Structures are given as C-alpha cells and as structure tokens.
Amino acid sequence: MSEPGVVPAVARALRTFAAGRFDVERIRQDFPILRRQIRGCALTYLDNAATTQKPQAVLDALTNYYVSANANVHRGVHHLSEVATEAHEAARGKVRRFFNASSVKEIVFTRNSTEGINLVAQSFGRWRVQKGDEVLITAMEHHSNIVPWQLLCEERGAHLKVAPIDDSGALMLDEFEALLTPRTKLASVTHMSNALGTVNPIADIVARAHARGIPVLVDGSQAAYHMPVDVRALGCDFYVATGHKLYGPTGIGVLYGRESLLAEMPPFLGGGDMIRSVTFEKSTWNDLPYKFEAGTPDIAGAIGLGAAIDYIAQVGLQHVAEHERDLLDYGTALLGDIPGLRMIGTAKHKASILSFVLDGIHPHDIGTIVDQDGVAIRTGHHCAQPVMDRFCVPATARASLAMYNTRADLETLARAIRRVQAVFR
Ligand SMILES: Cc1ncc(COP(=O)(O)O)c(C=O)c1O
C-alpha cells in the first residue's frame, strides 16, 4: 500500500480537474449514490446541509484501510500499526493544510462539530469562565453552538448573551460589538447559518473581539464545504468542522485550536492515549494534539476525511463556491416565481441554502410530497429553534446545495413545489 487513503478515484479526479475546469457532470459520476432511483424517479438530493454524499474516493479509502491496513494507532511496533498510524497522521496533515493551520498540533480529531464545541466549552470554559462572566453567541446559532454554552454558564453561574439578527437574517454587527464587555470570556459564532444560509464576516468579528482581548470560536460546520477557509487569515482561536458535511464519513470531526490556548487548556476526556504517565496519585498529559484525543480514535474516519479533503482540493473550493453561487441565484429566482412562497433568510451575504415556507402548507407536508418525486429536502426547525422563533415560523422547508447539484435539480424542486400546491388547492 503506497499511500493509504489515496486511491484510484482520487487519481482519476486529479486528471479530471488538472485543467482547472469545473465539470459538474463529471463530478456527479464520482458519487455513486446519485445514480439511485427513489420511488421510480432519479434522486434529486438537496439535503446537503444535513449531510453530503460521498465520492467513490472516500468509499475506496475506507474499504482500502480495512482491507489492507487495519490496526490500532500510536502504540504498536508491528508493521500494520505503523501503516495505520502513518495514514491517520497523514490525514491530520491534510486537514492542517486544508484549513491553513500553522501546525498539526493545532488539529484535534473529534467525533463531529458538536463534540468540538463541547470540548472547548468544557475545557477552555471551565478554565476561564467564572461566576458573573459572559459568553456571547448570535441569534442564528445551531443548537450545537447554544446548548454547550448553556450547560457551561449554568454550571459556572455565568451569563449567555445573544447578539441579534435583522429581518434578512444578517448579524447586527454593531449590536454584537456592543455586547462584548470586560466580562466576556469567549464569543462563539457560526461562519454560516444552516437555517438561513447567512455567511458571517468572521475576520471583522474576530478583529472586534480581539481588540478587547476576547477569543473567538467559529462554528464552520456549514462553511467549510462551501468556501475556502484559512484559519490564520480569519484570525479565530478555535474553528470546528464536521467530516460528514465535508463529503467525508460520519463519526469524524475537526477542532482547530490556537496552539498557545490548547497548550494551557486542561484535558476534556480522560483515558488512553491522552496521557504521558499515570499513577494512582497523579497523571500527566500527552503532547498536543493527543492531550485532547482520549481512547482509540476513528482511524478509518480520519483516513476517509483525508480522502474527502484530497477530493475537494482537486475540485477546488473556489470553483465549488462559484458553481453554488450560480445555483443559489438560479434557485432563488425560480422559487421567487412561485406564488405564496416566502424565503426565510435573504441576507446579502449568504450561500447554498434555500429555506422557505408556503402559504397554508406545513413544511412537513412539502417534504413528504416532494419526496414522491425523488426530491430530498429537509423540513423542520433544523436544530435552530431560536431562528424559527425569530421569524415566527414553526419550521421551514430547506433545500441545500453541494458541488454535484445542477440547475436541473432546482427545476425539479420548483416543479415538485408547484405539485405540492396543486395537491392543497
Ligand atoms: C451550523 C451547524 N453547526 C453545528 C452542526 C452540528 O454538526 P454535527 O451534528 O455534525 O456535530 C450543524 C449540523 O447540521 C450545523 O449546521
């Protein structure tokens, strides 16, 4: 096995994208599930904000690992353990490059974004947040970036502050800034809203917080597969992402943390691999990033994520962003022509999400009926109940885009929505 995780499908992708041309039809061929029929119709997959489909390169990397390299990492002296460790650490290196972190010490593998945020809340939070202190979030956060802070604040006697959003779903930056006080110990902000599509001006937010010495965590769960992310250019202190939205497997996520902070933070989970030495009296901690990786990691998941990142890098996130921008504009115009449809989330800076409601029709009915045409969208509160409350709706229907979607997908969606309306007429 020359380089675990790098398999023929990636090599093919390399040739496909060598010319720098974005060819959506060619990309679609790399995703086997897109050939599926659903209820006799071609699958129109528009639930990417929930999870993306996986290219053959990722599927091959997972199989290849289990077929030819499966062993536990970091503690074996035998050949397979060395191969598995090398592949696992190679994946960490790919993640580092993908986010432009300074060092692999700053890349902690987690289960998902949710775990990354909980890690920071429990480790940084318990270390830095005291009674009467404040944590600042925004009104557009996913529950994953609300509840861990509620738990922390409740435990520490601290206050959770929430910066408002306007009627388009954009963050009210001046109000955000006004909520930064000498008691604010951390600001935790989404890069892109999963319910609205709003993209936040992270570099600006970080600059305003840092001017007051306040560290910033960025929830990159949505942004990381739609646009290039450079944690050094953004200047943030923590950035979390989740593998299954990055065209990778479930069960693997990433926490980027500034080395100087991670070095000072206490461990999150205790167990094997995160220690340097253990006696019944006292344990000492392993070097970064292993201090935060207790127990056997998701080795296959990390290797699969590495393959996904290779794949994304070959396509080029800049090309993906341009393609999805075209689709978002096209989809917004198509859905805008449907009488009785109201878009929720119309911020000037938004990406890849079409969240909407239809007069007199519950979103669950929309989702169920369009499914009859093979159209997969998400309906509900999208784990963002405060966003639903802000817009006075119980739920929305949400179509969300990925690199393999086409204008034809959006036309199919628009036809299916009109059929929903016909059913209720
Ligand atoms: C903005 C945002 N944050 C956090 C999450 C949580 O991701 P995960 O469930 O993979 O931890 C999601 C998932 O939908 C999300 O969209």
Question: In a 10 Å sphere around its CB, with 0-12 CB exposed, 13-18 middle and 19+ buried, how is residue 35 labelled?
Answer: exposed
Could you tell me which of 151, 273, 145 has the C-alpha nearest to residue 221? Answer: 145
CA of 21 to the centre of ligand 1 (A): 31
CA distance 45 to 28: 11
Mean pLDDT, residues 334-354: 98
Q: Is 106 in the pocket of ligand 1 (CB under 6 A)?
A: no
Ligand 1 close to Cβ of residue 118 (< 6 A): no
- What does the pLDDT read at residue 20? 60
To test the ligand 1 pocket, which listed residue (242, 352, 398) has its Cβ within 8 A of the most ligand atoms? Answer: 242
The alpha helices in 163-270, defined as continuous H runs, are 173-178, 202-210, 231-234, 259-264
Please tell me the residue having the least CA distance from ligand 1 atom 16.
194
Torsion of CA 298, 91, 48, 64, to 10 degrees: -70
Ligand 1 atom nearest residue 192's Cα: 1
Tell me the one-letter amino acid at 211. A
Ligand 1 center to 214 CA (angstroms): 24
Residue 14: per-residue pLDDT = 47
Q: Which residues contact 170 (CB under 8 A, 6 or more apart)?
A: 198, 347, 348, 349
pLDDT at 5: 40
d(CA 103, CA 86) in angstroms, rounded, equals: 17
Q: Is 352 in the pocket of ligand 1 (CB under 6 A)?
A: no
For residue 51, which amino acid is it?
Answer: T
User: Which residue's alpha carbon is at the smallest distance from atom 14 of ligand 1?
Assistant: 50
Q: What is the pTM of this model?
A: 0.95
Distance 197 CA to ligand 1 centre (A): 13
List the residue whose alpha carbon is closest to atom 9 of ligand 1: 114
pLDDT surpasses 50 at 3: no
CA distances from 10 to 104, 217, 252, 311, 313 (A): 23, 32, 20, 6, 10
Ligand 1 centroid to residue 50 C-alpha, Å: 8
**Is pLDDT at 10 greater than 90 in this prediction?**
no
Q: Do residues 301 and 242 make contact, with C-beta atoms less than 8 angstroms apart?
A: no
pLDDT at 15 over 90: no
pLDDT grade, residue 64 (50/70/90)? very high
Give the integer Cα–Cα distance in Å for 343 and 397. 10
* Most informative mutation of 109, 111, 165, 222 for ligand 1 (most atoms within 8 A of CB): 222
Q: In Å, how far are 19, 113, 114, 191, 254 from 221, measured between CA atoms?
A: 29, 6, 9, 8, 10
Whole-number Å distance between alpha carbons of 179 and 107: 30
**Per-residue confidence (pLDDT) for residue 21, from 0 to 100:** 81
Q: How large a percentage of the chain has pLDDT more than 90?
A: 94
Rg (CA), the chain: 22
pLDDT at 75: 79
User: Measured from the CA of 116, which atom of ligand 1 is nearest?
Assistant: 11
Tens digits of residue pLDDT in 115-143: 999 999 999 999 999 999 999 999 999 99
Give the catalytic positions in this structure.
383
Residue whose structure tokens are 């392993």: 286
In the chain, how long is the greatest CA-to-CA distance? Answer: 73
- How confident is the prediction for the chain on average, in pLDDT? 95
pLDDT attached to residue 2: 39
* Model confidence at 68: pLDDT above 50: yes
Query: What is the distance in A from the centroid of ligand 1 to the CA of 246?
Result: 12
Length of the chain: 425
Nearest CA to ligand 1 atom 7: 113
What's the confidence (pLDDT) of residue 76? 80
Residues 368-421: pLDDT tens digits?
999 999 999 999 999 999 999 999 999 999 999 999 999 999 999 999 999 999
CA of residue 221 to ligand 1 center, whole Å: 5
Cβ of 144 less than 6 Å from ligand 1 = yes
**Residue range 303-326: mean pLDDT, rounded:** 98
Query: Is any atom of ligand 1 closer than 6 Å to the C-beta of 141?
Result: no
Average pLDDT (77-99) is: 97
Residue with CA at minimum distance from ligand 1 atom 15: 221
Q: What is the pLDDT of residue 18?
A: 46
The one-letter amino acid code at 285 reads W
pLDDT tens string 246-298: 999 999 999 999 999 999 999 999 999 999 999 999 999 999 999 999 999 99
- Which residue's CA is minimally distant from atom 12 of ligand 1? 221
Which of 48, 114, 250, 378 to mutate for ligand 1's pocket (most ligand atoms within 8 Å of CB)? 114
pLDDT at residue 13, rounded to an integer? 47
| Residue 10, burial from CB neighbour count under 10 angstroms (0-12, 13-18, 19+) | buried
Task: Compute, in angstroms, the gap from residue 82 CA to the centroid of ligand 1.
Answer: 33
Question: What is the CA(49)–ligand 1 centre distance, in A?
Answer: 8
Q: Of the candidates 131, 134, 140, 194, which has an alpha carbon nearest to the alpha carbon of residue 159?
A: 134
* Structural contact between residues 237 and 208, judged by C-beta atoms closer than 8 angstroms: no
53 CB near ligand 1 (under 6 Å): no
Mean pLDDT, residues 227-234 taken together: 98
